[in-house]
Amino acid sequence: MSARTLQLLLAIGALLVLGVPTSAQQVAYAASALSELDSVTQAAVVRELGRARTRGLPVQPLVAKVREGQIKRAAPERIRHAVGALATRLDSARSALGMASNDAELVAGADAIAAGVDQAGLRAVRSASGARDVSAPLGALAQLVASGVPLRRATQMIVELVKRDAGPREILAFGIAVESDVGAGVPAEESALFRLRAIESGAAGSATTLSTSVGDPKTITTSPGDARRPRRKP
């Protein structure tokens, strides 16, 4: 057995030990992703998988990151860096969210960190959510920050929604709506404030309304006394 084949088997073994779904298709996916790497990159990825296994972190996102790099035809060193950076973010997310966090929460936390959210922001969302899953709130927080809403303000908004018992779909729709508004030229914080007030006042009607009414910010209307409509950037 060659050293490269042994490395590949060890990597797949890490997936199995961690309880990642092990259908034939999924194992083939992991094997294919890893087998296409050069020996140096494969060794580096295998080390990251082993470290993730030791720390109890999800391994599947790391394999998916490898495949993403391959699809984008990224250079080997970029793939190695991306996998290592994701592993670090997953570790940081768990440190902030707690050892009992599920894989989806850790991935959402890692994505939020990549968008510019700090551990204090993750902890604030976890604290406000209690035992509820924080995947959706963290996803929306990442969207707000990536769209240009200042971190502290974005965190306050998501925490406020969580405390108001907004559901996952409504929270995600909030983030999507702000992202769409910004894409149409609306200042990020202005859009976020408008959308938040709309939810609070009930003017939005539903999560579907929020997520589909943003094709043209000029069409957004509110009842008298509600928040000002977002304005396009000049």
More confident residue, 18 or 167: 167
Backbone angles phi, psi at 215, to 5 degrees: -60, -40
Domain assignment of residue 203, yes or no: yes
Q: Is 108 part of any domain?
A: no
Q: Residue 178: is its pLDDT beyond 80?
A: yes
Q: Is residue 198 in a domain? A: yes
In a domain, 102, yes or no: no
Q: Which helix (H) or strand (E) holds 158?
A: helix 151-163
**Short-list 58, 67, 70, CA closest to 30:** 67
Q: Are residues 69 and 125 in the same domain?
A: no
- CA pair distance 20, 60, nearest whole angstrom: 7
Distance set, CA 91 to CA 51, 104, 199, 217, 224 (Å): 10, 13, 34, 39, 47
Strands annotated E in 49-130: none
Check residues 125 and 23 and name the one with the higher pLDDT.
Answer: 125
Q: What is the number of other CB atoms lying within 10 angstroms of the CB of residue 81?
A: 14
pLDDT of 188 higher than 80: yes
Task: Name 130's Cβ contacts closer than 8 Å, sequence gap at least 6.
Answer: none
Element housing 71 (H / E): helix 60-71
Same-domain status, 85 and 142: no
pLDDT band of residue 28 (cuts 50, 70, 90) is low
Percentage of the chain surpassing pLDDT 90? 58
pLDDT of residue 211: 38
State whether 93 and 38 are in the same domain.
yes
pLDDT at 184: 95
- On whether both 213 and 142 belong to a single domain, the answer is yes
pLDDT at 93 over 90: yes
Q: How far apart are CA 176 and CA 143, in angstroms?
A: 7
Q: Which two tokens stand for residue 8?
A: 């590949």
**Same domain, yes or no: 82 and 155:** no
Contact 130, 97 (CB under 8 A): no
156 and 80, same domain (yes or no): no
Inform me whether the pLDDT recorded for 15 exceeds 90: no
Q: How does pLDDT run across 123-155, given as a tens digit for each residue?
A: 999 999 999 999 999 999 999 999 999 999 999
